[in-house]
C-alpha cells in the first residue's frame, strides 16, 4: 500500500496504481480533469504510464460547465 494525499485528504492505494487507474477509481473517467502531482501538472497523455508513489501530493480539479 502507498499513502497519497489527494486535495488535502490522506488516501491509500495499491502499489501499482497509475494516474489513469486513480482517475477511474475516483469516478472521474470521461470528465475534464486536471491533475497536479507534487507541484507539477501531469499531461493527460501520460495518465496511463505515470505511477503513483508513496508520499505523492495530488491536486485534482474537474472542469464544470455552466453559464
Lookup: cell for 49: 504510464
pLDDT band at 13 (very low <50, low <70, confident <90, very high): confident
pTM equals 0.87
Q: Which of 60, 53, 40, 59 is nearest to 1 (CA)?
A: 53
pLDDT band at 65 (very low <50, low <70, confident <90, very high): confident
Collapse the DSSP code of 47 into the 3-class scheme (helix H, G, I; strand E, B; otherwise coil) and give the result.
Answer: coil
pLDDT for 14-64, tens place per residue? 778 999 999 999 999 989 999 999 999 999 999 999 999 999 999 999 988
Lookup: cell for 5: 494525499
Lookup: cell for 60: 485534482
* Topology at the third CATH level for domain 2-62: Ubiquitin-like (UB roll) (3.10.20)
In this model, does residue 67 exceed pLDDT 80?
no
The angle subtended at Cα 16 by Cα 60 and Cα 13, nearest 5°, is 55
The angle subtended at Cα 64 by Cα 32 and Cα 7, nearest 5°, is 75
Amino acid at each position: 500500500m502507498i499513502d497519497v494525499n489527494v486535495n488535502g485528504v490522506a488516501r491509500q492505494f495499491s502499489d501499482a496504481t497509475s494516474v489513469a487507474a486513480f482517475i477511474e477509481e475516483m469516478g472521474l473517467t470521461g470528465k475534464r480533469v486536471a491533475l497536479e502531482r507534487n507541484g507539477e501538472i501531469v499531461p493527460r497523455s501520460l495518465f496511463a504510464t505515470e505511477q503513483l508513489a508513496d508520499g505523492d501530493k495530488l491536486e485534482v480539479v474537474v472542469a464544470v460547465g455552466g453559464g
